[in-house]
Amino acid sequence: MSVAHGGAKYMLGRIARARVARACVPALLATGMGLAVIASVPRRPPLRARPSARELWGFTAPWDPRSAATVAQHGGALDVIVSGWLRLDTVTALPTAVYPDTMHVPGRPRRFALVTTYARDRFHPELIARLAADGALRGRTAGALARLASDSGYAGLVLDFEGLTPLDTTALATVVTAIADSSHRHGVRPVTIAVVPTDTIVFAERRLRAADLLLLMLYDEHWATGAPGPIASPAWVRAALAIRTARSGASRLVAALPSYGYLWKAPAPAAVLSFADAERLAADGGVRLTRDAASGMLHFVRPDSAQGWVGDAEQLRTLERTVDAAGVRRVAIWRLGLEDPRIWDRGGAGSR
């Protein structure tokens, strides 16, 4: 993943994952597949205390100076800043820092690191299978990751292991258990795993008991290679939350909400938009951003047939109320630097 293009390619990798998951999960549920991979594994109870007030997380993009600018100006409004980007090497399986972490905010935010298998334009699920099959290698990787996190001052980890299928479920559980155990021994917690909100087979709660928290990726309801539409509508978020709260409880969840949008123009995949990009592109095309009644998102269609969808502070507040109604008190912004700056005003994402 290059510094220049890492963000767009990483996003497309996540989109491919989301598309496959949404296509296969209903069919798997209908046929009864996956029942063998959701057997319970006895574990000591992980840390899942429910915050008394909304806890706000923010994901940074080290390749994007807009992210650093947001952190510099509004980082103090965050409870958690995910500023580290660690990758499991596809050859050694050992963790390395993908970008220098220079986003230190004095005071309140705890610093977490994201851990991924993403490299060379794709996720590497085969690495998870390899670690699961080799206990010695798994122990070295988990220990090295815990030491790196502790030595770098990261209080917690967010695991982003994507591109998996139902056949990888047991391997995923084995690897997450090893990482969580080592991290906890080094004082690094919570260990959180990012999950597709509707995928309850690969990311089965009972198999992922070692993870302290589940981070629901509540975005890409419409994705870059699909039809245009809202990135996250309240009804879609509400339905996804209902599935997960029923299975794991609201106190174990982190609701990740989008701060970005997409610009679709066939035949190319959609491009990621910031709120400022959407305002500029609409104005350049002589059109206005209008609010979609069903989703609350802003959208526009230009004379050249380019179509953009993006959220703003008002729509994010609506999504936050949806999350609050489900009893989930941890909210994450994916990602800092693309948002409508008004989310930091009183009553927006920065408020409690």
| Position 7, amino acid | G
Name the phi and psi angles at 130, rounded to 5.
Answer: -65, -45
More confident residue, 43 or 322: 322
| Pair type for strands 253-258 and 80-88 | unpaired
Task: Give the whole-angstrom CA distance, residue 101 versus residue 104.
Answer: 8
- pLDDT at position 5 is 33
Task: Give the whole-angstrom CA distance, residue 244 versus residue 330.
Answer: 14
User: Helix, strand or coil for residue 299?
Assistant: strand
pLDDT higher than threshold 90 for residue 17: no
- pLDDT at position 53 is 81
pLDDT higher than threshold 80 for residue 29: no
- pLDDT at position 43 is 40
Residue range 290-304, pLDDT digits in tens: 999 999 999 999 999
Side-chain-side CA neighbours of residue 186 (13 Å): 24
More confident residue, 46 or 336: 336
Structure tokens at 336: 């800092």
- pLDDT at position 49 is 63
Beta bridge pairs of residue 84: 113
Q: Which of 282, 298, 332 is nearest to 228 (CA)?
A: 298
- pLDDT at position 299 is 98
- The pTM for the full model equals 0.87
pLDDT higher than threshold 50 for residue 161: yes
Per-residue pLDDT band for 103 (boundaries 50, 70, 90) equals: confident
Contact 222, 283 (CB under 8 A): no
More confident residue, 75 or 13: 75
Q: Which domains does the chain have, with CATH numbers?
A: 6-259+332-344 (3.20.20.80)
Residue range 254-277, pLDDT digits in tens: 999 999 999 999 999 999 999 999
- pLDDT at position 24 is 41
Residue range 226-237, pLDDT digits in tens: 999 999 999 999
Mean pLDDT throughout 238-250? 96
Percent over 90 (pLDDT), the chain? 80
Task: Give the whole-angstrom CA distance, residue 205 versus residue 195.
Answer: 10
Q: Which of 158, 173, 200, 160 is nearest to 22 (CA)?
A: 200
Contact 160, 191 (CB under 8 A): no
More confident residue, 228 or 104: 228
pLDDT higher than threshold 90 for residue 10: no
- pLDDT at position 102 is 87
User: Helix, strand or coil for residue 114?
Assistant: strand
Mean pLDDT throughout 210-216? 98
Task: Give the whole-angstrom CA distance, residue 233 versus residue 253.
Answer: 19
Task: Give the whole-angstrom CA distance, residue 164 versus residue 97.
Answer: 23
Percent over 70 (pLDDT), the chain? 83
User: Whole-number mean pLDDT of the chain?
Assistant: 87
Per-residue pLDDT band for 104 (boundaries 50, 70, 90) equals: confident
